[in-house]
Amino acid sequence: MASTVFVTEVTGTTDTTEPPLPEAGLEAADIGVIVAYFAVILAVGIWAMCRTNRSNVSGFFLAGRDITWFPVGASLFSSNIGSGHFVGLAGTGAASGIAQGSFEWNAVVTLLFLGWLFAPVYIASGVVTMPEYLRERFGGQRIRMSLSLLSLILYIFTKISADLFAGAIFIEEALGWNLYLAICILLAITALYTVTGGLAAVIYTDTAQTFIMLIGGLVMMGLSFDYIGGYNQLEPEYFAAIPSKRNTNTSCGLPRSDAFHVFRDPIDSDLPWPGMIFGITIIATWYWCTDQVIVQRTLAAKNLSHAKGGCVLAGTLKVLPMYMMVMVGMISRIIFPDQIGCSLPEECIKVCGSPTGCTNYAYAKLVLFIMPVGLKGLLLAVMIAALMSSLTSVFNSASTLFTCDIWMKIRPKAKNREQMIVGRVFILVMVGISIAWVPIIQAFSDGRLFDYIQSITSFLAPPITAVFVMAVFWPRLNEPAQFWGLKACGIFIGIVRMIFEFAMPSPACGKPDNRPTILSKVHYLYFAMILLCVTAAISICVSLVTPPIDEKCLVRLTYWNRYSKRKRIPLNVFYQKKLLYYIFHAEPAAPKPFWRKAIDLFCGLDDGQSQQISTEEAEAMKISMLDITEEKWPAIFVNIGAVVMVAAGVFLFGFYA
């Protein structure tokens, strides 16, 4: 029996109106679940803070490089799955079907790239940040500064602001709070343990939150499928989910005929299949293999086998969002076709205040309708967990980028304590900028948040992907080539396209598209492919007409010499010695009053946490941290896991193609 059909006892006629939503607010049981969640997360965070030395760069930014495969994998997953995924993936599923889920399945391949191709080079090179890798690889400061600034811009545009907006949508629906009040409360909680705890606190709380997200998401999925009569009912019910008020002269409001295909028409569809294969891989390679937020977790692994094991675990978990989020969003449209599937601007304004669509509200509305008392609190905790795990990861990585790559350029003689303070203060600055960007997302996400995130990424990320791939696999690439390819051409072209996208947004459904061809006909995934090729071509041409880098300066900086035991001649000896000093040495501590000691201990600025070590001990520790050799049986296990993970991904793509 269709879930959208109800019988009115008074008249005996069929009533096709949607079921009423419960009023915003939580029962005592829901509040109890949320309090229990915060208690668990707080306990885990305090335990991680006490366990790890946070008073130096290695401890705060890399968790002492002592994390095993399970926390690494869980942190990779939860850092990626933010509230933007629950809201955005469910919204795109409600709007257009399952195709967006292939973004998640693509991670199966790109996480394999990370663990087996990129991470060995990063670990062997001994870097802390991705811009630092480019600096070691090419020399000079301009590429490092450019990439750091670009990464911070991407964090604000596509990560922090989007997740804040998505989390606030859910809390606004569930509690009836003001959007910005919800944002400020979430940020205050999130920034507290990120500012004080460092990467160790982030990784271990991410692990706890992964369990919470999986439990809550799977329960929600099970109840949703049960409500419509099982998985087999999803397709017929979805195609029947048509709003009662729509313009019958257009296809607006009708489910897409290819809603259950991940590979769609290459010319006229919303997600063309060549773009889904190649364009998504370009974007995903940037995200999973070159982005500081993700790579920082593999750099924190105790050895390469643990880094690979974490990638396998995360890739396996990435199979789930298609079912936990995308299809759950489709079920929300089945239950609420007039609200989630609205196509007339005046109707959408009544539902959610946006004339372009209300699919962003699909997950939140379904949670309020379908979850019993107690489990609503669990799902709210899940959304908070998703938001906080994603934001804490971005905050920690962004502070790492700013401190190590920008502040150290401004103040090359900055002491260890100054670096720690600057990194924490910068988190607060990013919070303010991100809040200011939320209204822009409200205006331009077009009711489909995940499309907004992917399109912005397509405009800015492909040049970064091109430069990193060539840096790792083509030793001939030099500094002038990657600078002109990345910044002068690739990024300039991408920013121009992004500006035009904001200046001339896509028309509402049923309206003619009078935008320039580059906007109306060139899909953002095709644009990503074009931008990658342009960046690579320019980089190759410039590299071939300029002098190469001496191979003595490339030791352990490319895939081909990652195992080399030779001593690398650094392009900037002073900088390298300075960084190693701050990683392995603490500064002499001056006498402090009691209150100052208590504050420093809480914030991880207590110099007494670090111990002075000899030059020989520091050198031995350095060699151990750069070692990427693997023991036989751990290497065999992670390789088998990788094969199984890829086989599962290929099967899923083939099954839903």
Number of domains the chain contains: 1
Question: Hey, what are 345's tokens?
Answer: 């601007």
- The answer to whether residues 200 and 54 touch, using CB atoms and an 8 Å cutoff, is yes
Q: Which residue has the higher pLDDT, 541 or 143?
A: 541
Alpha-carbon gap, residue 506 to 96, rounded angstroms: 16
The residue among 404, 399, 327 whose CA lies nearest residue 363 is 327
Alpha-carbon gap, residue 594 to 554, rounded angstroms: 49
Stated pTM of the model: 0.83
Residues in the chain, overall count: 657
pLDDT of residue 323: 95
pLDDT tens sequence across 219-260 = 999 999 999 999 999 999 999 999 988 888 787 888 999 999
pLDDT tens sequence across 283-334 = 999 999 998 778 888 888 888 999 999 999 999 999 999 999 999 999 999 9
The residue among 503, 522, 638 whose CA lies nearest residue 68 is 638
- The answer to whether residues 348 and 356 touch, using CB atoms and an 8 Å cutoff, is yes
- The DSSP output letter for 27 is -
Residue 264, helix vs strand vs coil: strand
Question: Is residue 459 assigned to a domain?
Answer: no
pLDDT, average across residues 411-437: 75
pLDDT of residue 12: 36
pLDDT of residue 587: 45
pLDDT tens sequence across 622-650 = 565 677 888 889 899 999 999 999 999 99
- The DSSP output letter for 373 is T
Radius of gyration of the chain (CA): 25
The residue among 554, 574, 407, 530 whose CA lies nearest residue 479 is 554
Question: Is residue 512 assigned to a domain?
Answer: no
pLDDT of residue 260: 93
pLDDT tens sequence across 469-508 = 999 999 999 989 988 887 668 888 888 898 888 788 777 7
pLDDT(348) > 50: yes
| CATH number of the domain enclosing 401 | 1.20.1730.10
- The answer to whether residues 376 and 26 touch, using CB atoms and an 8 Å cutoff, is yes
pLDDT of residue 374: 78
Domain limits at 118? 6-19+30-449+550-590+602-656
Q: What is the mean pLDDT of the chain?
A: 78
Compute, in degrees rounded to 10, the torsion defined by CA atoms 227, 230, 233, 237.
Answer: 20
Question: Is residue 399 assigned to a domain?
Answer: yes
pLDDT, average across residues 524-528: 93
Question: Is residue 478 assigned to a domain?
Answer: no
What b-and-e string marks burial along 280-308, b requiring 16 or more CB atoms within 10 Å of the CB? bbbbbbbbbbbbbbbbbbbbbbbbbbbbb
Question: Is residue 513 assigned to a domain?
Answer: no
What is the pLDDT confidence band of residue 540, given thresholds at 50, 70 and 90? very high
Q: Give the whole-number percent of the chain exceeding pLDDT 90.
A: 27
pLDDT of residue 413: 75
pLDDT of residue 445: 56
Alpha-carbon separation of residue 68 from 289, 298, 300, 397 (angstroms)? 19, 10, 9, 19
Question: Is residue 393 assigned to a domain?
Answer: yes
Lowest average pLDDT, out of 130-134, 196-200, 416-420, goes to 196-200
Largest CA distance in the chain: 89
DSSP secondary structure, 602-654, as one string:
HHT--GGGS----HHHHHHHHHHHH-----HHHHHHHHHHHHHHHHHHHHHHH
Question: Is residue 287 assigned to a domain?
Answer: yes
What is the pLDDT confidence band of residue 398, given thresholds at 50, 70 and 90? confident
What b-and-e string marks burial along 151-168, b requiring 16 or more CB atoms within 10 Å of the CB? bbebbbbbbbbbbbbbbb
Question: Is residue 543 assigned to a domain?
Answer: no
pLDDT of residue 365: 87
Alpha-carbon gap, residue 206 to 41, rounded angstroms: 9
